[in-house]
Amino acid sequence: MHLLNVQLMFSFLCNTEMFKNYLMFILKNVSPQDTLGKLFKENGKLSKQTLEKREAQKISKRLDIDLRNSLAHLMFREDGATIHYYNYIKRGNDVILHESEIKSTDLFIKNREQSLIRTILALVITDWYGL
């Protein structure tokens, strides 16, 4: 199970980072220093641009930025077919370490969704440029 989980996590991170790179390519106000969290948070650059339809929030729910951050910063542990991942949550003045979990099968499905979102964005870009 370990090797499968490693491959799923790696693919998930690659899809997420490629999506961010595509956004950087087409949006003038996105720089390499901007994280996906900064772009999609409530007052982030993309959220401000899509305020009326709340498209940024719809996309961020599908991207699962918390899972991405946990995996990228190695804040997870495996327990067979379950991956436990951790994020810091602010509650008032306190910062709490929050644990979530995802099954390998769910990560596979999430990975497939991310790949699809990334591919659609790539196709839109190539269509814009007539490639």
- Using 50, 70 and 90 to split pLDDT, how confident is the model at 117? confident
Residue type, 6: V
| C-alpha torsion angle, residues 92, 95, 101, 104 (rounded to 10) | 120
Q: What is the mean predicted confidence (pLDDT) over 90-96? A: 86
Q: Which amino acid appears at position 1 of this protein?
A: M
Read off the pLDDT of residues 29-57 as tens digits, 9 standing for 90 and up.
777 777 777 777 766 666 666 655 566 67
Convert 14-30 to b/e letters by CB count within 10 Å (16 or more is b): ebbebbbebbeeeeeeb
Is the Cβ–Cβ distance between 68 and 84 less than 8 Å? no
Residue 26 makes CB contacts below 8 A (sequence gap 6+) with 125, 128
Instruction: Tell me the pTM.
Output: 0.80
